[in-house]
Amino acid sequence: MKIGIMGTGYVGLVHGAVLSSYGFPVTCMDVDAAKIERLADGISPIYEPGLDELLASGLRDGTLSFTTNAKQAIQSSDVIFIAVGTPAKEDGSANLSYVQEVVQSIGKYANDYKVVVCKSTMPVGTNRGIARYLDGVLKARNAPFRIDVASNPEFLRQGKAVGDSRHPSRIVIGTENEEAKLRLQSLYDVHIRQDVPFLYTNPETAEMIKYASNSFLAVKISFVNELALLSEKVGANIQDIAAGMGLDDRISLHFLQAGPGYGGSCFPKDTQALIDVGRKNGEELYVVRAAIAANEKQKLKMVHKINDVLSFNGTLKGKTIAVWGLSFKPETDDIRSAPSYDIISGLLGRGAAVKAYCPQGMKQAERLWTDLNGSVAYCENEADCAQNADAIVLMTEWEQFRENSWDTIVKSMRGNAFFDLRNMFAGHAHVRRLFDYYPIGSNELAYALEEAQ
């Protein structure tokens, strides 16, 4: 079975590389010629642990190829995955223009029976709309074959995408066509043998499962972040609260870590898109809407927290702040909708000078945050970033940040404030002793009493 992947972003590239490692001939197509040229040389445009090795293996074995030729990719494939972006429009609705371009190409170039699989996150009803469109195009062409459409949403975690693709938590297949179902079962046979749970349903349900999953996790994050803000005011400790909640197996500890807010390529746009679907169908989703509002509030509260400690007469002018971490989570270079952008913008707006270091996110920041270029000084490492700074703001919990020589770091600084927006060092007595330490979701007086005891 030959596979075509339309789109070489985080989803398409990882999915294609993993399928090629199972022995399937995979052709990945993208309109970006420069990106395809680099991929053909084994150079990934994104940072994802384990992906470089998969690319090298697939290219070496001849199971993985790259092209800008849509006709070639479509006509040489039995199963075609649509894995292009569906970014949010200004009104929150999903921008399906890239999907439409791919579907039009499939309708134009398809030369025999195909199964088109929607891997991109698409609003409810999109799969059925694609099927109707392709049926109409094939009838107009008097084509002697049909094209079946299935929804197969992805559930990859950035930073762990290769592992999640090889060992998925579940596989959801939304189709009402038996032949399409059987072809996807054959494609995912390795996961059937792994006893991965499979859910077969209709396209609309599959589309909703993806949005529901991401929106629920966003709600959970916003909920714990609001509790963290309250905990700081009443003297409670959010980490202990989360631990106590997580011991209830109906809740679990997952996604109960307080922080500066959620970000990335999925949660922000998918919550907005679900709100839009609800609005168009006459159902206001109040809980999801509240999660979005709470997330925006959380980022602003982080700026206020830093400002309240460091400012003089309400301004941060003359203060230098070292930001550690730009990506929305560790083990990825993705800075899309990262809380670091809003927080850095807020600090700059209050007059602060900002230095920043991220193990993987700086290239993307320089490329995409053009409005901040010239205002942020990007550094070679976290120690360089902290030098002569009045405060460190830990934005992303990269594991390498644990390995610093803290005595050297604090001696190189002008001030000694440490805003740990991930509570990465909440249990690190030496760090808390060296710095004026400000975690998320706890009153520092409580830490001082604990230390004394």
Smallest CA-to-CA distance from 270 within 161, 124, 172, 158 is with 124
CA distances (Å), origin 343, targets 240, 260, 372: 26, 9, 12
Q: If you classify domain 3-201 with CATH, what class do you get?
A: alpha beta
CA 51 to CA 237: how far, in whole Å?
38
State pLDDT tens for residues 238-293.
Answer: 999 999 999 999 999 999 999 999 999 899 999 999 999 999 999 999 999 999 99
Q: On the CB side of 326, how many CA atoms lie within 13 Å of its CA? A: 31
User: Of residues 28, 118, 266, 358, which has the active-site annotation?
Assistant: 266
Smallest CA-to-CA distance from 346 within 437, 237, 261 is with 261
Structure tokens at 429: 């007595």
Per the annotation, binding residues are 30, 35, 86, 121, 210, 255-259, 263, 269, 329, 336
Per the annotation, binding residues for NAD(+) are 30, 35, 86, 121, 269, 336
DSSP SS3 for 85: coil
Q: List all residues 6 or more positions away from 286 whose beta carbon is below 8 Å from its beta carbon.
A: none
State pLDDT tens for residues 315-362.
Answer: 999 999 999 999 999 999 999 999 999 999 999 999 999 999 999 999
State pLDDT tens for residues 295-319.
Answer: 999 999 999 999 999 998 889 999 9
Q: Give me the pLDDT at residue 444, please.
A: 61
Q: Give me the pLDDT at residue 241, please.
A: 96
Catalytic residue check, 266: yes
State pLDDT tens for residues 86-104.
Answer: 999 989 899 999 999 999 9
Average pLDDT over residues 423-451: 81
Q: Give me the pLDDT at residue 265, please.
A: 87
pLDDT at 451 exceeding the cut of 90: no
pLDDT band of 9, cuts 50, 70, 90: very high
Structure tokens at 120: 């991109």
pLDDT at 446 exceeding the cut of 80: no
Which of the four CATH numbers 3.40.50.720, 3.40.50.11740, 3.40.50.700, 1.10.3720.10 does domain 213-452 have? 3.40.50.720
pLDDT at 448 exceeding the cut of 50: no
pLDDT band of 405, cuts 50, 70, 90: very high
Q: Give me the pLDDT at residue 16, please.
A: 97
Per-domain boundaries in the chain:
3-201, 213-452
Q: Give me the pLDDT at residue 314, please.
A: 84
Mean pLDDT of the chain, nearest integer: 95
Average pLDDT over residues 381-394: 97
213-452: same fold as 3-201?
Answer: yes
Q: Give me the pLDDT at residue 312, please.
A: 87
State pLDDT tens for residues 190-226.
Answer: 999 999 999 999 999 999 999 999 999 999 999 999 9
Structure tokens at 377: 């000084």
| pTM exceeds cut of 0.75 | yes
DSSP secondary structure, 322-336, as one string: EEE--SSSTT----T
CA 387 to CA 241: how far, in whole Å?
35
Per the annotation, binding residues for substrate are 210, 255-259, 263, 329
